[in-house]
Amino acid sequence: GTTVGDYKIHSFTGPGTLCVSAAGNCAGNNKIDYLVVAGGGGGGWDRGGGGGAGGFRESKQTGAPWSASPIATCVGITAAVQGYPIVVGGGGAAPGAGQGVNGVNSSFSTITSAGGGGGGAANPGAGCNATAPGVAGGSGGGASSAPQDVKAGGAGNTPPVSPVQGFVGGSSAPGSCSPSGALPGAGGGGATAQGVNTPAGPGSGNGPVGGAGGTTTISNTPTACAGGGGGASSTCDSGGGAGGAGGAGGGGAGADSPGTNVGTAGTTNTGGGGGGGGNGTSQNAGGAGGSGIVIIRYKFQ
């Protein structure tokens, strides 16, 4: 760990244990603040939606000398003399066909953040008008699109906690993108904003962006985490477009189309969702979600 003034800071990028040897008291300070971010969801295959960001949960005691995200609570963990196991979730995979896989939960004490939802995908073998929706998670995965099939983005904040740990993924739009071909995939949800929906109608070849994550200085430097993955572009109108940017906080970009491009993976130790996979000359996989992180901060004197 590191020491900043009266505070100790411990960052975990893998499993570990926080050992408390003296708990303090309420007349001084016996609270532990935390940032717990789960692994991001993988992006979907072929016109894929972006993966949802891993759940983002944070506390900051009133008057503590750092800046928290807008979804932080002021209720920290009351310290006890014991070891606190730390679990850091891995990012969800992006398989060669189908929906992205949800990220893995992260946890500290009584706080569990849920893995991000996988991005929606074209449904292999079911024809060009069938897609799979985004999957629910800490933040929800974005939906995939097809000319005659409209799907919802995956629900965020699943399972529900307060304050919310993430937002819904973007939904797909109705109709073709003129004169034929599917619309892009939608953006995955982020910690502080929903994924952007697929735009309807002609001129919609570019992929939507992922939802924004949250930024905190709990580590004593600005740390942005839990951005949603960008939706894949599609071979619409002029023949293709650019994939959607990942949400601020480690979200991976969606793939460009046409070509053989895959979605970009979410950034390691941010819980960012993976970008959706493109289509065109072939159907392509999305990017894997980024692994999570746990940061602990407490006043020791």
Give pLDDT tens digits for 52-77. 999 999 999 998 999 999 999 999 99
pLDDT tens digits, residue range 9-33? Answer: 999 999 999 988 776 666 557 899 9
For the cut 80, the answer to whether the pLDDT of residue 228 exceeds it is yes
Structure tokens at 146: 């097809």
Partner residues linked to 56 by β-bridges: 37
For the cut 70, the answer to whether the pLDDT of residue 234 exceeds it is yes
Task: Evaluate whether 34 touches 108 at the Cβ level (below 8 Å).
Answer: yes
When the pLDDT of each residue in the chain is averaged and rounded to a whole number, the result is 89
Return d(Cα 275, Cα 264) in angstroms, integer.
5
pLDDT-based confidence at 248, cuts 50/70/90?
Answer: very high
Return d(Cα 74, Cα 126) in angstroms, integer.
49
Average pLDDT over residues 261-288: 90
pTM tops 0.95: no
118 against 81, higher pLDDT: 118
pLDDT-above-70 percentage for the chain: 87
Average pLDDT over residues 101-117: 97
pLDDT at 151: 84
pLDDT-above-90 percentage for the chain: 65
Q: Which of 113, 295, 109 is nearest to 219 (CA)?
A: 295
pLDDT tens digits, residue range 120-169? Answer: 988 655 555 567 789 999 999 999 887 667 788 999 999 999 999 999 99
